[in-house]
């Protein structure tokens, strides 16, 4: 069974590229356009990894990250935070709230692809 990736970004242009990339790498991809939708989607079906943009309407990426981490059922879900903020502290905050990695936009797709692969290799997945 392919590993599943939840892509959370309200910008369709980057979502389009990332969805394409993740599918190319052989993952099952779901897309959510805001924080609420992302949490609903996670509750409906637990993904192996979340690509999470920070700046979103309703609940932002930090909020989603913290909410997911607060639930022990999702302890093994990997989270990569994507941020367009350029501040030195944004990454620090993401990691403090439980993210496994963070990327500042603009980032290279191949670099992201590698990191996703590495993180998923750390967790064996439900089907072992």
Partner 1 sequence: MAERWSLRLRIFLFFALVGLGGLALFAGALVLAGARIGPEATPHLVLAGGIGGLGLLVLTAWVWQLFDENVARPIMLLSGELSATAEAKSTAARLSTDKARYLGALGPAAAGIAEALGRERSTAEGAVKAAIDEVLAEKAQLEAVLRDLRECVLICNLEHEILLYNAEAQRLLGLDAQIGLGRPLFRLVTEQPVRHALDRVKLRFADGRHRTHHDYLSVAVVCATRDGRLTLQGRLSLILDAAGDAVDGFVLTLRDATQPIADHAARDHLLKEMLEGLRRPTANLRAAAEILSGGMAPDAKTQARFVGVMTEEAETLARRIDRLAGAYNELRIGGWSMNDVTAIALVACARDRLADLPELELAHAGADCWLNCDSFSVVEMLALFCREIAGATGVGRIEIAATPDGGHVFVDLVWQGVPLGESAFEPWLNRPLVEGLAGLTARDVLLHHRTEIWSERVGPDHARLRLPLQPAVEDHVSAPASELPARPEFYDFSLLRRRAAGKMAETPLTELACVVFDTETTGLFPSAGDEIVQIAGVRVLNGRVIRGERFDRLIDPGRRIPAASTRIHGITDAMVADQPDARAVLPAFHDFAADAVLVAHNAPFDLKFLQLKEGLIGRRFDNPVLDTVLLSAHLFGHGAEHTLDALAERFGIGFPEGQRHTAFADALVTAEVLCMLIPVLNARGVRTLGDALAVSDEAVAIRRKQARY
Summarize as ranges the residues that interact with partner 1 (CB under 8 A).
59-60, 62-63, 66-67, 70, 86-90, 92-93, 96-97, 104, 106-108
Q: How far is the CB of 42 from partner 1 (least distance, A)?
A: 16
- Give the Cα separation of 58 and 34 in Å (integer): 7
Residue whose pair of structure tokens reads 């089907």 in the numeric block:
127
What distance in Å separates the CA atoms of residue 39 and residue 45, rounded to the nearest whole number? Answer: 10
Rounded to a whole number of angstroms, the minimum distance from the CB of residue 106 to partner 1 is 4
Closer by beta carbon to partner 1, 72 or else 86: 86
Shortest Cβ 55–partner 1 spacing (Å): 13
How far apart CA 96 and CA 71 sit, in angstroms, is 16
């Amino acid at each position: 069974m392919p590993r599943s990736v939840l892509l959370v970004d309200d910008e369709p242009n980057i979502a389009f590229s990332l969805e394409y990339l993740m599918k190319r790498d052989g993952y099952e991809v779901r897309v959510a356009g805001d924080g609420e939708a992302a949490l609903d989607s996670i509750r409906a079906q637990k993904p192996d990894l979340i690509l999470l943009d920070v700046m979103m309407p309703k609940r932002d990426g930090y909020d989603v990250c913290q909410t997911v981490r607060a639930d022990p059922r999702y302890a093994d879900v990997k989270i990569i935070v994507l941020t367009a903020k350029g501040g030195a502290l944004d990454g620090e905050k993401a990691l403090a709230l439980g993210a496994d990695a963070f990327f500042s936009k603009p980032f290279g797709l191949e670099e992201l692809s590698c990191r996703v692969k590495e993180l998923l290799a750390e967790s064996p997945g439900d089907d072992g």
